[in-house]
Amino acid sequence: MRMQKQFAKLPRLIAVASFAINLSLPTATSAGQMPEKSDSGAAKPAAASAMPAPAPDLVTSKAPAASRYVKQMAVMDTPTAESAAAQKAKPAPPRVIKNDVDLLDSLAPPGWEAPPAIKLTADSKLLLGADGKAVYDVQGKNSAVLAEYRCTEVAIRRFRRGDLNCELDLFRFASTDGAYGVYSTMHAGSSTVLMRGQGNSEDENSITFYTGNALAYLHSASDGDAEAKAMMGHLADQISKRLPVGQNVPRMISAMPYMDRVTASEKFFMGSQAALRYGNVQFSDALLLDQSRGAACADYQYSRPMAERLKLMLAEYPNQSVARNAFSSYTSTMTAYAHKTLDKSDSQTVCKMAGGFLMCGIMGSRVLVISGAKRATSPSVLARQLLPGAF
């Protein structure tokens, strides 16, 4: 009987124990949050929390999460030494080339020091200082000769490395004829297979080339120095790529006979100063070249019937009247110094001189002079290539 009463109290004891256990366990229900209900409407027991709430003494910062995020981003945006160095290492924007001074200043050969380029113009007494003396002398290039070729300006820059000194001179002319004329008369050395611009020549310590209306002259005071010559070649290659490409030669050069002409012997004059210095033609000052439109000169080599080398100068004048005055001036001078006058007419004069036979002829507005002949008939043979049947 007693056992039956104890079994009857067992369900009640189990219910009390379950209630006590539920009170002791933490629940996921937050303050103010209603417990979920089952389909039958009874409240579901709250699920146990996977992680207990941290104790108040373990919280290290009282700042909200958003504030901590802003501070972290500010730290990340602060430039470091590495990032600042990377920004400084970025290449500079390309230099704008507006003129020849900018072009020369853009050249920076490694290991060479160079002050900024300077420019001299025709208005500032080209190549002349305040005392009237030449700032420098490039193979006898003086202001008078450059003025004949209508030189407008020259940009100059000097380079130095230890005891090595090099200079780069970039000339500009009013026309392409001027650049061709200066190159043909004043370049040093011989032509090379390495082509820069329209013409290129080199010797042991200089490089000269021209293109369009520009002429570049690079030279070193150190004779035969390989390092200086290599640097000048590098600069010449850089400049030639940045200068406009020209194609035409002076019209008088094209008018010269091509057959039997000695290669690279052509010269072009735009006045009497250059002709006297570089033409090597007898009495060239009597041709009145200052009144001409230009004069071309070249050598011609013949082997038959006898070996001889003739020189031909062909000048063009504004009209036939000026050409006739030049013809009369020259023939009067040559006959005055001739050993013997062989032929004299309105169109030509042939004289025997101390060094051979000399001929002067006129064709409309053009006057020609042929010298160096060993035979009296040789000048006429060359002259007939210009105008068949005229001589």
278's tokens: 């570089």
- Say if residues 194 and 281 touch (Cβ distance below 8 Å): no
Residue with tokens 């420019």, as numbered in its chain: 119
Q: Is the peptide bond before 305 cis (omega within 30 degrees of 0)?
A: yes
Q: What is the DSSP string of 159-228?
A: EEETTEEEEEEEEEESSHHHHHHHHHHH--SEE-SS--TTEEEEETTEEEEEETTEEEEEEESSTT-HHH
In this model, does residue 138 exceed pLDDT 90?
no
pLDDT of residue 61: 45
| pTM (2 d.p.) | 0.71
pLDDT of residue 49: 44
Name the strand (E) or helix (H) holding 378. Answer: helix 378-386
3-state secondary structure 95-116: CCCCCHHHHHHCCCCCCCECCC
Percent of the chain past pLDDT 90, that is, above it, reads: 48
Listed in order, the ranges of the chain carrying CATH 3.40.1000.20 are 100-242
- Region 306-316 average pLDDT: 94
pLDDT tens-digit map of 38-73: 444 444 444 444 444 544 444 444 445 545 544 554
Query: Exposed/middle/buried for 315, CB within 10 Å: 0-12, 13-18, 19+?
Result: buried
| Fold that domain 251-386 belongs to in CATH | Protein Transport Mog1p; Chain A (3.40.1000)
pLDDT of residue 58: 40
As a dihedral over the C-alpha atoms of residue 247, residue 296, residue 370, residue 320, rounded to 10 degrees, the angle is 120
Residue among 314, 278, 276 at smallest CA distance from 184: 278
pLDDT tens-digit map of 188-225: 777 665 678 888 998 888 999 999 999 999 999 877 78
By three-state DSSP, how is residue 148 classified? Answer: helix
pLDDT of residue 123: 56
Strand positions, DSSP E, the chain: 118-121, 151-161, 164-173, 190-191, 199-203, 206-211, 214-220, 267-269, 294-302, 308-316, 340-344, 348-353, 356-363, 366-373
pLDDT tens-digit map of 328-369: 999 999 999 999 999 999 999 999 999 899 999 999 999 999
Provide the mean pLDDT of the chain: 78
Per CATH, domain 100-242 is 3.40.1000.20:
yes
